[in-house]
Chain A
Amino acid sequence: MSTLGFALEGAWKVLAAGLILGAGLPVLFALGIRALAWGAGGAAEVSHARPQPIGKVVAYALFAIVVLGVLLGITFIVASGFGKTISFDHLYPVIVDK
């Protein structure tokens, strides 16, 4: 395979991972903000609707997913510093030797 081929192969994988983690997690975070505003009601929303307590629960569940994603990122940085990497072979991430 040519160098350009290798580069494009690497590029689309980075793009896919980037879209899932780099755009997906912020969108979950945005949904969390949306749910939080729905839960707070009043001045938090343009419509000044009544507060919906369930919104807060949904919001914190969404924020928790985002935090897990960030922890995965930190784990990866630390692991690669020690010559390890994270394997996604078993659905859930596992720290393995590089």
Chain B
Amino acid sequence: MTETSVILALVVVTALGFDFTNGFHDTANAMATSIATRALRPRTAVALSGILNLLGAFLSVEVALTVSNAVVRIQNPDGTPKESLTADGGQALLLIVLAGLIGGIVWNLLTWLFGLPSSSSHALFGGLVGATIAGLGWAGVNWNGNGSKLDGVVGKVILPALLSPVIAGVVAAAGTWLIYKVTVGVAQRFTENGFRWGQIGSASLVSLAHGTNDAQKTMGVITLALIAAGDWTDTKNIPFWVKASCALAIALGTYLGGWRIIRTLGKGLVEIAPPQGMAAESSSAAVILASSHLGFALSTTHVATGSILGSGVGKPGAKVRWRVAGRMVAAWLITLPAAAVVGAVMWYLGDFVGGLAGASVIFALLLVLAAVMWLRSRVKPVDQSNVNDEWDTAPAVEDERVPAGTAAS
């Protein structure tokens, strides 16, 4: 086994690790509302979402090999790696990809620890941008495309991130408001039972769409690494084991359930009733599908959060915890730069040590950081048993506001 193939193995393992974090980070997008309204038991919800993600990942036959082209210039338009990066047997490209993936994972784990739903694609793109800036300089980043279409960091990441929560929020608010108008006069229990079914259906659609979109990104990254190392040449197809392992990784991650994030989205923002849950998930599903139809790249996380906020705004008399929403928006704003910083630091470190040793050092560092954050999460665990506990009794800071809130409602 050559040095390159060992680095390649590290990249593949890290990419699958990222796919896994992508799964549990995003379970909340589809299932937080169904869990919060008790339309589904928590374990059932994550199992359903996991299965649909697995199915969705296998359904994506199309190759997402050029996924990195949206933000960095390490690939040719046909998906093959830039020749300048493969001159030394592919190690230059592999190090950029490895450092970028580590940046994405570290940021995903940190935001999970704080229970913040941040975009996994932004974390991946951020890590890649940082590692590319470190490795190739600022010119290696595709900031704005060539101006002929929506492209680059600005067009594919920043602008959609600003617009998508607003769009999803407006749609969900309109839906919620109309639903409550229409169902005036229907007994509450009758309404809620009916909407639980609608909610499960729309949440399943979001899970399926998530599997087709997000697993593809990791498949593209792994295939790029394989091509760079000279182990694969076909740019029109991806190896079956890549597809199968990515599908399994994202499904297992989803099944594990990011309970901390589910809790924030399901209980932290708005007290969700089944009609609101259905309006929110329908809005998410429609916005995600419409945007992928129109080639407008959106983050599932931003859409889902916007929808849930919208369902709080649309229900007359509902209370929205804007302070929690503000923390989320802050996390979104720093996701790209923060993951970029980690990616860049990892690249410098890996490059400084050099070769296989460098790659091994940053991989080991990732394992240490992941272990530290996991241990930290055990101090105050959130799982299926306490995911639906009352929000206001949990954090001390929010406690002072309870009397005012209860008096108003």
Q: Which residues of A contact B (CB under 8 A)?
A: 2-4, 6-8, 10-11, 13-15, 17-23, 25-27, 29-34, 36-37, 40, 43-47, 66, 70, 73-74, 76-78, 80-83, 85-86
Contact = CB atoms under 8 A, between A and B. Distances in A.
Contact of A19 (B171, B182, B187, B275): B171
B170 A30 contact: no
B209 A45 contact: no
B286 A17 contact: yes
Contact of B282 (A22, A47, A86): A22
Contacts of A86: 293
A10 B291 contact: yes
Given A10-B295, A21-B286, A21-B290, 4 more contacts: A15-B171, A19-B170, A22-B283, A66-B198
A29 B198 contact: yes
Contact of B168 (A18, A20, A73, A83): A18
Contacts of B170: 15, 18-19
A80 B171 contact: no
10 contacts: A13-B294, A17-B293, A19-B174, A29-B198, A44-B187, A73-B285, A77-B56, A80-B292, A80-B293, A82-B62
Nearest to A31: B182
Contacts of A11: 163, 167, 296
B283 A46 contact: no
Interface stretch (B141-149, B226-234, B339-347): B141-149
Given A23-B175, A44-B190, A80-B62, A33 B212 contact: no
B194 interface: yes
B89 interface: no
A3 B167 contact: no
Contacts, number: 179
A18 B59 contact: no
User: Residue among B152, B182, B205, B294 with the most chain A CB within 10 A?
Assistant: B182
A3 B187 contact: no
B124 interface: no
B186 A29 contact: no
A23 B171 contact: yes
B201 interface: yes
Nearest to A13: B294
Contact of B293 (A2, A23, A76): A76
Nearest to B185: A46
A29 B281 CA distance: 13
A44 B370 CA distance: 52
A75 to B, nearest CB: 10
B334 interface: no
